[in-house]
Structure 1
Amino acid sequence: MAEGVEEAWDVRVKGLLKAELKRRNVTYAQLVDKLADIGVKETEPNIRNKLARGKFTAVFFLQVLSAIGARELHLDNASR
């Protein structure tokens, strides 16, 4: 995959996750606690870095969505 194309996907997935956090008014500090509630240990700086880069695993993506109570995801609203 060309580097520019991969970067576009990074931006899109980062936008999806940030939008879900914003939609639920969840701060990074609150996310740390919500992740801990489901047994996932993360620090606020680590979360901030992952979301800033847009580079994280599908597992982390699903853990965050689960921790914040997201039950559906609208891909049409993601940054492109």
Structure 2
Amino acid sequence: MTKELPEWERRVQTLLKVELTKRNLTYKQLSEKLTEIGVSESEPNIRNKLARGTFSAAFFVQCLAAMGAKEVKLSDG
């Protein structure tokens, strides 16, 4: 049985997954892009962090930077 994530963890998990989807990137490609900016994260580590929904703000920003994101929309409003 899968445990439901708390709201804020679910929201940040979704934000990162949306950014990956918008750019049509796999976890492997994200791992490669992170390596290019000097951050060592394996594909399985990224997959696990996103599945758990618990990761540091630094990891979140590193992923966004590696993907080339300039802004993130926090809500539909």
Give 1:42 shift: 0.5
The equivalent residue for 1:52 is: 51
Please give the alpha-carbon distance, in whole angstroms, between the structure 1 residues aligned to 2:23 and 2:61: 16
TM score, norm. by length of structure 2: 0.90
Structure 2 stretches lacking a partner, 5+ long: none
The 3-state SS of whatever aligns with 1:75 is: coil
Q: For residues 58 and 37 of structure 1, what CA distance do their matches in structure 2 show?
A: 19
Unaligned runs of 5+ in 1: none
Structure with higher helix content: 1
Q: After superposition, what is the alpha-carbon deviation per residue over 1:36-80, rounded to whole angstroms, capped at 9, x for unaligned?
A: 000000011100000001000000000000000000000014xxx
Q: Are residue 14 (structure 1) and residue 13 (structure 2) matched?
A: yes
Please provide the CA RMSD for this pair: 1.4
In structure 2, C-alpha distance between the alignment counterparts of 1:20 and 1:36, rounded to whole Å: 18
| 1:38 aligned partner, one-letter code | I
- 1:29 lines up with 2:28 in the alignment: yes
Aligned residues: 73
